[in-house]
């Protein structure tokens, strides 16, 4: 059964820092990996989707990488801003459904 782990569980950084969030998964037979953002009490907003054949995706200040063979993905956020404060979840889609990590709660201090 696929298991997804996110480290760290919480992260606090000063504004302007570059940061990396980590995601690992146990079964490399995945269709894709998706990074989401969740604000308190809200639904999930899709940030980046990486297909299994891809190595990375970029959107603005965000860059996500995928190393399927090692079961790892990273989300890189450049020049962090207070508005980036939220919980970030990664999820992997395999043959059955999508499995989620517990998330990393990010706080960017002004």
Partner 1 sequence: DGGITQSPKYLFRKEGQNVTLSCEQNLNHDAMYWYRQDPGQGLRLIYYSQIVNDFQKGDIAEGYSVSREKKESFPLTVTSAQKNPTAFYLCASSIAGAYGYTFGSGTRLTVV
Applying CB under 8 A, the residues found at the interface with partner 1 are: 4, 31-32, 34, 36, 41-46, 49, 51-52, 89, 91, 93, 97-103
Cβ atoms of 75 and 62 closer than 8 Å: yes
Residue with Cβ nearer partner 1 (10 or 79): 10
CA 11 to CA 20: how far, in whole Å?
10
Count the Cβ atoms, other than its own, within 10 Å of residue 9: 12
Residue with Cβ nearer partner 1 (23 or 80): 23
Residue with Cβ nearer partner 1 (13 or 49): 49
SS3 82: helix
Shortest Å distance, C-beta 87 to partner 1: 10
């Amino acid at each position: 059964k696929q298991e997804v782990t996110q480290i760290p569980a919480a992260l606090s950084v000063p504004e302007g820092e570059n940061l990396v969030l980590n995601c690992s998964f146990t079964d490399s037979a995945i269709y894709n990996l998706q990074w989401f953002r969740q604000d308190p009490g809200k639904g999930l907003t899709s940030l980046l989707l990486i297909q299994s054949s891809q190595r990375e995706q970029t959107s603005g200040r965000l860059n996500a990488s995928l190393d399927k063979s090692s079961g790892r993905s990273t989300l890189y956020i450049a020049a962090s801003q207070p508005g980036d404060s939220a919980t970030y979840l990664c999820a992997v889609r395999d043959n059955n459904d999508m499995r989620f990590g517990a998330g990393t709660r990010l706080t960017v201090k002004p």
